[in-house]
Amino acid sequence: MTLRIRCTHDRGVARRHVLTGVAALIALVPAGRAKADHRVSDLVGDDGMALPRARDLVGQVVRLRGYISQGAEAGPDYLLTESPNAPCQLCGLTHDAGAALRVQPAESEVSASAVQVVEVTGRIEQQGDSLRLIDARIAIV
């Protein structure tokens, strides 16, 4: 003969504890792995010019994901693109990386390679018709 103890009160408490724990986890996760606020192509066109909706963001700190590379035409600045600005691993050619946002890193060393996804946080500065991200922090994702 088996003895079964049923206690709905205890079970209710236990479930509440579990739900509280899950809620705490959900609250923690987005802070650590938040999605980027914007895409490069939300801010600049393929010609590098600022898009109209991006002008409202001038002076604000934004976070973007992409690939960072040193563009010859960008001078000391780096370029943030949605596709790697590096030779293709399939065919060896460098494909058009699309819209590129100029980035002035806060630190002189950028350790990310051109094929690593990075998250860049910086302030949008307007330079004529184009934009750049200044005082930018670059983290490998």
| Closer residue to Zn ion (CB): 34 or 88 | 88
115 in contact with Zn ion (CB under 5 A): no
Of 4-12, 23-31, 52-60, 91-99, the segment contacting Zn ion by CB under 5 A is 91-99
CB under 8 Å to 17, separation ≥6 — which residues?
Answer: none
Measured from the CB atom, the residue of 79 and 97 that comes closer to Zn ion is: 97
88 binds Zn ion (CB under 5 A): yes
Nearer to Zn ion, 58 or 88 (CB): 88
Binders of Zn ion: how many residues, by CB under 5 A?
3
Task: List residues bridging with 123 in a β-sheet.
Answer: 61, 134
Instruction: In whole angstroms, give the CA distance from residue 77 to residue 59.
Output: 18
Burial 38-63 (b: 16+ CB within 10 A, else e): bebbbbbeeebebeeebeebeeeebb
Q: Which residues lie near Zn ion (CB under 5 A)?
A: 88, 90-91
